[in-house]
Structure 1
Amino acid sequence: MFYALSLLTVLGPATLDVASFGAKGDGRTDNTKAFQAALDAAAKQNVAVFAGSGNYRFAGTLNVPKGVTLKGSWESVPSHNGIRNPDLPKPTDGGTTFLIEGGEGTEAGAFLTLNTNSTVKGVVFYYPKQDPKAIPKPYPWAIAMRGKNPAVLDVELLNPYNGIDASANERHLIRNVSGQPLRRGIFVDAIYDIGRIENVHFNPWWSVSDKLLDWQRTYGEAFIFSRTDWQYVLNTFAFGYGVGYRFMESKDGACNGNFLGIGADDCNVAVKVEQAAPFGLLITNGEFTSFHGASPTQVVVSPANTGVVRFSNCAFWGPCDRIADIAGTGTVGFGDCTFVQWDGRNKGLAAIRATGGSILVRGCEFREDKEHVAIEAGVKRAILTDNLSPKKLRMKIADPSVVKTDAP
């Protein structure tokens, strides 16, 4: 025991406290310089930086050097619904909270930038100048992840305009993150080594005012994926966005990856595929609902798509217009999926409509006696087999020669 204590004394403390560098969690003092001084000192000493309970105001930006962890007092991600519901905890009631005020009016840059092997954990990111009853003001990203192995752990993004920019890095890890990013939640691009996103839930904890939530349902995008190779996404959720999961092509390419246990509730479009990599988007055990907007649809595949999208053991319900509206020249497959509550406005719409590419619907259940599948001109090939419906499977097929089906 004496030897261990002596060794700890020689090695010095494992962390530096921001209070030792003049930081004050009083909600008024600008802590930008004090925090950056602590982070720079930690990089030289190869230790972490600790910010205890308090409300730390920032007018500037922070850069977390290579190998440094910036940690707050939260051991798991908290929730602060107190601005929406006055009887619940508010973001300034306790724990480590960052009050971010710099950058109002612009989306350029980021408040906090992570670098190789650096981490932020146990902190609440709160923008006190956002009005919960108004259209939100633009701000830079709350967090930018750069270098190799940056990590965001146990963080509440209560109300940032833009949440996490996870582009141009390798092996990012985003785990246990919650909150209400307003315009964009997480953006992933230019990733050539496997990134991981786990246990990320975006709910309207901060505000459910009609004006703000209508704006978010129109313009908000919870998860955005461009070029990322072998992306792994587990147990993620989005509520009340224009698009829950958007897959798009950047100058660097499109996404392929494994998406397990993902969900989107009350998103105008739950999954929007503008482009997918030829290796495919593998989406398993997903749950998707859509019922707001001009044409609420769970899955929209754009005419530009040339890649592969597969849904396995997923559930889709509404009341939406369609479960899926599929275009492009790629392949989209549904296997062992459940479809409920489409054609919510009784327009005679099929649950799944395909206007191009190839489509597979196998072993799925349509739980209502409505129009089930529409295969329109332009589809190259379709396989519709082993599906269940209350009565006869109701299909509209423009060209039977491109369709394989076992339905009478």
Structure 2
Amino acid sequence: MALEGYFNVKDFGAFGDGKRSDTEYIEKAFAAANTQGGGVVWFPPGLYLIDQGSTVGRGFTISDSITLAGTGTGKPQFDTEKEVDPFATNGSKLLIKNPDIIPIFVTGLGSVIRDLAIYHQHDDLSTVPWLPKTFKEAIHVFGHDVLLKNIYLRNPYVGVVSEGVGRLSIDRLFGQPLYTGIDIDNATDTVRISNVHFWRFWSAAESVAKYTFDNANAIISRRNDNPHFSNIFAIGYRTGFVFRKSDYGITSKFRINNADIDNCKYGIIIESDAQRTTGQVVNYTFQGTNESESGIRIEAPDVTVQCGNIRIQNVRTNGILVLGPASFLAIDNAWVESWDKSGQHFPAIEAAAKGAIVSVGFNFLARNGGDIQVKGNFGGNVIYPNNNSWPEAAPWW
């Protein structure tokens, strides 16, 4: 017996076999829910082919009081370029073949999307050079009080895009976005992004890894007020966090708490046009490769960032670099290790712009790296509490 308020897409004719189009039948389920003032559009376990949209560029629009839900994403398998069945997981999945469709477009107040997987179909990984198909984003949020929970983005070109929202929550988002994971702009109220895991769930092929390392960003924040990012893990991207100016402005009072950026080129970048960005970074680690640049890189002027409990290791150049004039970076409890892998005398921490200030507080450990620990160039200053000079690096214990 059907539960009141639940609209099972298979009751409206959806196949869920990944071969026949389900678009028409899913639209009927949404129409029925809207007629009754909302409800839960439910996807039983299956693979639902979305190959067209009722609105140009959109698959399904989630309006007020609509919840789009599945029965869980299943356990993602670790695929390779030799995979036999690319869709052999349990749970509720949407399959996207048309690169011009945004499968889920959220406009409503109080909308929820949960317990779903979204798969995109890309070309053979053996193609040299390999490039992903430039699909539109998997989820576009243009509403308020929106919750995304337990979503597996198997291999989208772009994962989640949000613009002009008031109150957005993302909890337990995982997968392998190939160009952008999350991109948020003009959020005027609370944004809470937590439990994000971007890993090589889809493919560990060398061609894919090279593309994402050279081109992809895990999280982009543009003009946002007080966004919180917690429990974030990203591996193999060009950048873990990018702070970038948009037509609306810049990010203020961001907070990064419990983040692990692994095998990326950069950890955190505040780009050159994002003047006056402010924020805090707490409990942050960056583990790079021989091609990695910096764990924290501030390019914009007049930036103020406070850091505590950070560890940066294995970078080709600086562990931390401040290039923005008159920018201020305050650091306590910092550990920089194995920097300057290039051997070109990059300091572990460098203020390399006029008026840039790095305040290195208590408990700074620099070891197994280049021959310069800290340096201020072109009028920049490095401030040590109660010290006029900095001794040889030594553990704080």
Residue pair 1:58, 1:100 contacting (<8 A) in 2 also:
yes
- Larger mean CA deviation between 249-258 and 216-225 belongs to 249-258
* Partner residue, 2:68: 70
2:305 to 281, 290, 309: 309
Residue pair 1:132, 1:206 contacting (<8 A) in 2 also:
no
CA deviation after TM superposition for structure 1 residue 382, in Å: 3.2
- List per-residue Cα deviations over 1:104-133 (Å, max 9, x = no partner): 5xxxx7221112211111111111234344
Query: d(CA) in 1 for partners of 2:138 and 2:315?
Result: 34
Residue pair 1:91, 1:124 contacting (<8 A) in 2 also:
no
* Partner residue, 1:358: 357
- Larger mean CA deviation between 281-290 and 33-42 belongs to 33-42
1:214 to 200, 210, 217: 210
Structure 1 stretches lacking a partner, 5+ long: 1-7, 395-408
Query: d(CA) in 2 for partners of 1:386 and 1:288?
Result: 29
1:125 to 118, 128, 142: 118
* Partner residue, 1:378: 379
* Amino acid corresponding to residue 358 of structure 1 in structure 2: I
Residue pair 2:74, 2:91 contacting (<8 A) in 1 also:
no
1:224 to 209, 220, 227: 220
Answer yes or no: is 1:49 the counterpart of 2:35. no
* Amino acid corresponding to residue 373 of structure 1 in structure 2: V
Task: Output aligned runs, 1:121-160, within 5 Å.
Answer: 121-133=114-126, 134-160=130-156
Does the C-alpha gap of structure 1 residues 305 and 132 become closer, same or farther in structure 2, counting only changes over 3 Å? farther
CA deviation after TM superposition for structure 1 residue 307, in Å: 1.9
Does the C-alpha gap of structure 1 residues 84 and 384 become closer, same or farther in structure 2, counting only changes over 3 Å? farther
CA deviation after TM superposition for structure 1 residue 261, in Å: 0.2
Residue pair 2:80, 2:204 contacting (<8 A) in 1 also:
no
Query: d(CA) in 2 for partners of 1:183 and 1:279?
Result: 24
Partner SS, residue 319 of structure 2 = strand
CA deviation after TM superposition for structure 1 residue 136, in Å: 0.7
Answer yes or no: is 1:333 the counterpart of 2:330. yes
- List per-residue Cα deviations over 1:238-269 (Å, max 9, x = no partner): 10011111011111111121111012101101
Query: d(CA) in 2 for partners of 1:167 and 1:261?
Result: 25
Task: Output aligned runs, 1:279-290, within 5 Å.
Answer: 280-290=278-288
RMSD, matched Cα:
2.5
Residue pair 2:276, 2:301 contacting (<8 A) in 1 also:
no
Structure 2 stretches lacking a partner, 5+ long: 53-58
Partner SS, residue 235 of structure 1 = strand
Query: d(CA) in 2 for partners of 1:277 and 1:120?
Result: 35
* Partner residue, 2:56: none
* Partner residue, 1:3: none
Identity %: 23
Query: d(CA) in 2 for partners of 1:311 and 1:77?
Result: 37
Q: Runs of at least 4 residues of structure 1 off by over 6 A?
A: none
Query: d(CA) in 1 for partners of 2:301 and 2:219?
Result: 18
Partner SS, residue 33 of structure 2 = helix
Answer yes or no: is 1:23 the counterpart of 2:14. yes
Partner SS, residue 215 of structure 1 = helix
- List per-residue Cα deviations over 1:251-309 (Å, max 9, x = no partner): 1111121111012101101111115574721110011122253x62212111x332212
Partner SS, residue 385 of structure 1 = coil
TM-score, scaled relative to structure 2: 0.88
CA deviation after TM superposition for structure 1 residue 354, in Å: 1.1
